[in-house]
Amino acid sequence: MATRTTQPLSWPQSIRALMRAWKPLVVYELLVGLLTTTVLGPPLVLVFYRLIELAGEPVLGNLELARFLLSPLGLVALVVVPSIAAALVLVHYSGLILLADAAIGGRTLSLVQLLRTMIAAAPRLLGLALVQVSLALAAAVPFVGLAALVYWLLVSEADINYYLDARPPRFWLAAAIGAVLAAGLAAAWAWIFIRWAFALPACVLHGQGPVQAIRASGTLARGRGARLLAWVVAWVAVEQLTVFAAIWMLDRFNATLASTFQERLSMLVWSTVALLLVDTAVLQVIAAIFAIGLAALIAWQYQQACQVANAAGAPRETLTLTAVRPALSAVRPSWQARSAVLALAVAGPTLSIVSAVALARTVVEHRTARVTAHRAGSKAAPENSLAALKRALAAGADCVEIDVQQTADGQVVLMHDRDLRRMAGDPRDVNDVTLADLRPLRLTPSGGADDEPIPTLAEFLAACDDRVRLNVELKDFGRTPGLALAVVEVLRQAGFIGRAGVSCFDLPPLVEISAAEPKIPVGKILSAAQGDLTRLPVDFLSLHQRMVTANLVRAAHAQQMEIHAWTVNDRDAALRLLDLGADNLITSDPALMREVVDWYQGRDDVERVLMRLRRWMRGE
């Protein structure tokens, strides 16, 4: 058995030791990274999907997700799912820490020794993840509770959009308190991280149970927490800057090389494949280097802490360097040779195949996307107004999205907020006033437009031209159960059944509309969701733009569902969504989106391939 040094190496000495043992570290990082992504990741998603099914819903959207997380089953999911994800991360880093600790300590590990140690530690790592996630969530409870109390006391009187627009003193007070609470939660989690930083090496290097490892970590971290946190923050910051610089340089290199072959399609295809493999390799190597470095940093600090604790006469729960650590013998010289062969024979081809498949899966059927004016195009005129409609049509919008509510006397009018404070200077809720009460009110002028009355849905439909289509969003705030059928009746009377769809955050009103008038397309609005969205009984998904992915677009199209993305006011975001195959861009700037959509439709295959490659590199 190889002897280990009695004194931990300095950081420069540790770096040199790691560089001598780079092959097993790099091979392990690449293989485990692929294994986690392709084998261990999908079961985590499956577990959460099964928990959703137990809740009796195919998909949990915004409100459903909130209600689910507050239920007993949801609270279980809130602990179990992050714990499994955290356990995968701990398992990943446990191998790196074992290899780095051995290299710093002057030892080497065989593949069999490494696997045996990790398998033996797996139950403890799962328990450690459960304890850590539970305690982290528990630490967040008082901060979240105080934030909810601040919201209720200061900004719950009116619709939140009023506070975001007018920003009265109580808004700034709530924002300041919220910032303090956020900083407090961040500080609490940072303190927890410092206290737990050595729990993972205590588990895998000394065979400690979850609670004992956390206690030992707290003891060992005393006096070095701020330094350890600074090391980790600096390391992560350097990693992000390095990745950003690499993507920037690769992006420029790709564009230059691709433009050279843009006249020769065969060369363009082969150069794109080559660029993909090169880009993937570079980014994977950078990720591997920084993951190895972080694990080595923790292992080195852990050795230093153990040495100091031993020299000072450690308490019973503190670990020693030699007494409990598993005896791992030296490796035969063939480890390096096997590592190199394994890297070439498995990691390289597997990485290439996964990368090629990843790029291929970003290819979707491109359709001519439509431009929808959000709230009738609210940048140029008061939102949900006839003036906004005229400007949206002049800007070339294909569709107009409007928000409707019901008054106390059952009339359907256009209004986004639950109250009239922001748009008309009246504190009353829409559901509490009659149409006669609304008539004297005027919408707040915007964009140089003259003020005008709040329109009814019938008046808005009468002002539409023959080509425009509508997306009518229901805003009942749980107080007007008759809104859905009232909208159907207005659409029928105006002859808009074939030219209007209806959307809503809640699913029951959409089901009600489909039963009453199957010819009206219905769509669920989502800004967050869990589950298979294509199982929803709707004709289109109205999604926050960050939720749109190529896989989702492809799956939705296979089910004859459209993808509508909101609220898209940026050129780069619009190009990303068009490249993903989105069917509709909902925007507050229809003139800009019209320009972007028309420009994109005029691009050739070469330019679209380049855009897709850049998007793939950036992980978009």
The predicted pLDDT at position 47 comes to 65
**% of the chain at pLDDT higher than 90:** 40
The mean pLDDT value for 303-320 works out to: 64
Residue 386 has pLDDT above 70, yes or no: yes
Number of C-beta neighbours around residue 321 at 10 A: 20
Considering only residues 196 and 59, tell me which one the structure prediction assigns the higher pLDDT.
196
The predicted pLDDT at position 324 comes to 37
Considering only residues 75 and 574, tell me which one the structure prediction assigns the higher pLDDT.
574
Is this prediction's pTM over 0.85?
A: no
Opening angle at CA 24, ends 19 and 28, nearest 5 = 120
The mean pLDDT value for 406-430 works out to: 94
Measured distance CA(148)–CA(152) in Å, rounded: 6
Q: If you count DSSP H runs as helices and E runs as strands, how many of each does the chain have, helices first?
A: 24, 11
**% of the chain at pLDDT higher than 70:** 78
The predicted pLDDT at position 142 comes to 96
The mean pLDDT value for 141-163 works out to: 93
Return the HEC string of 282-301: HHHHHHHHHHHHHHHHHHHH
Antiparallel, parallel or unpaired: β 399-406 and 412-414 = antiparallel
Considering only residues 284 and 7, tell me which one the structure prediction assigns the higher pLDDT.
284
Considering only residues 263 and 305, tell me which one the structure prediction assigns the higher pLDDT.
305
Measured distance CA(117)–CA(245) in Å, rounded: 37
Considering only residues 255 and 335, tell me which one the structure prediction assigns the higher pLDDT.
255
Measured distance CA(415)–CA(451) in Å, rounded: 15
The predicted pLDDT at position 115 comes to 81
Q: What CATH number does the domain located at 370-617 have?
A: 3.20.20.190
Q: Which residues pair with 404 in a beta bridge?
A: 414, 474
pLDDT tens column, 511-530: 999 999 999 999 999 988 87
Q: Where exactly are the structural domains of the chain? A: 11-360, 370-617
The predicted pLDDT at position 512 comes to 95
pLDDT tens column, 450-474: 578 999 999 999 999 888 999 999 9
The mean pLDDT value for 595-610 works out to: 78
Residue 266 has pLDDT above 70, yes or no: no
The predicted pLDDT at position 319 comes to 46
Residue 22 has pLDDT above 90, yes or no: no
The predicted pLDDT at position 438 comes to 95
Considering only residues 155 and 477, tell me which one the structure prediction assigns the higher pLDDT.
155
SS3 260: helix
Measured distance CA(454)–CA(445) in Å, rounded: 12
Measured distance CA(205)–CA(319) in Å, rounded: 10
The predicted pLDDT at position 246 comes to 87
The predicted pLDDT at position 548 comes to 93
